[in-house]
Amino acid sequence: MLHILTIIGARPQFIKAAAISRAIRQFDNIQETIVHTGQHFDANMFDIFFDEMGIPKPNYHLHVNSLSHGAMTGRMLEEIEKVLLQEKPDVVLVFGDTNSTLAGALAAKKHHIKIAHVEAGLRSFNMRMPEEVNRILTDRISDFLYCPTDTAVINLEAEGFRQYPCSIEQVGDVMLDAAMYYLPISSQKSSILRDMDLNQDQFLLVTIHRAENTDHPQRLAEIVEAINKLSKDFDVVFPVHPRTKHLLSNLSISPRVKLVDPVGYFDMIQLINGCRLVVTDSGGLQKEAYFFKRFCVTVRDQTEWVELVEHGYNRLSSTKSSDIQDAVHFFLKQTFKTGEALYGNGDASNRICRSLLNHHDKNHSI
């Protein structure tokens, strides 16, 4: 029996965990223990995902949140260590680039437990981003590096990972697994487009939450100005992260758009699938826009999803109001056409499970 201990803590990880957990349940010889660090603690950003998506409720909830980066990571490391000593898993599975990711990997490494990193090899090449630090450090100590794209594999090879005692595999993106599985379900479960009186392809979807944008009043004001000007021609739907909502209240300029509280995954799928295009600083939403054939304007200087920019599905923008508007108007004139499978075929979760089982069977333990 292969015992996997899964670490989650933030909204995108709930979605990825849903895909992996669903795949795990297809195998009689895999046991999963789920640990939720508590990094995202708002009910709309946690409970609703588990209720909607059928994710097994966490076996452990560590309730670590609302702390500085160092304090949060340290507290998580301490609490995860206690769980590892009790559960003694064969492998710890971590996702992406959050403090929960790094804490889970560090705790496992210090107790000589194998680490599997889903979304390995991603790079924004901006070391000022906490996420970049987290993903680089997690990659370096992981034993199984599951890359979502060819670019991610190339990044690891350029950093010399082939000389390290680790396995590197391009398996595709588990977010695509989730998107393909939940789209038809969301159309039955979500009524958000009808409730908000939104017409297909007639509104813009905006999300802004990164500290590099929200913590600088001038940058946030420029973004709001762009959104307000775009709202003259389109409805604009802006699900507001609680932290962003608080910071917006301190601005002299207010968004004149449909501000809504954070929504569940099914509602978000319907918003992405129904919008004309996306404006965001999120990492995951850039890909989800592509999955549902929507162009994306990313209000960041860099992106880890460079293939979306290279293939013309995504455009990076500064926070300057005119730059955001120009990028949006550029895409409004384009027709979305896909030919390449940039993120695999929707079977990444199954491939990860089979890979871990193969390693386990070969060695009798991982």
Task: Give the per-residue pLDDT at 46.
Answer: 61
Identify whether 3 is a catalytic site residue: no
Task: Give the per-residue pLDDT at 48.
Answer: 65
**pTM to 2 decimals?**
0.91
Domain with CATH 3.40.50.2000 in the chain: 2-173+344-363, 183-332
Task: Give the per-residue pLDDT at 364.
Answer: 65
Among 36, 117, 209, 359, the one annotated catalytic: 209
DSSP 248-260: HTTSSS---SEEE
More confident residue, 265 or 113: 113
Does residue 250 contact residue 242 with C-beta atoms inside 8 Å? no
Task: Give the per-residue pLDDT at 50.
Answer: 75
pLDDT at 197 over 70: yes
CA 84 to chain centre: 25
Q: Quickly tell me which residue has 């129904």 as its tokens.
A: 274
Report the run of H or E that residue 136 belongs to, with start and end.
helix 130-141
More confident residue, 253 or 37: 37
Query: Could you confirm whether domain 2-173+344-363 is CATH 3.40.50.2000?
Result: yes
Q: Whole-number mean pLDDT of the chain?
A: 93
CATH number of 183-332: 3.40.50.2000
pLDDT at 154 over 90: yes
pLDDT tens column, 237-250: 999 987 888 888 88
The radius of gyration of the chain from alpha carbons, rounded to an integer in Å, stands at: 20
pLDDT at 44 over 60: no
- Amino acid letter, residue 163: Q
Tell me the mean pLDDT in the region 7-23: 92
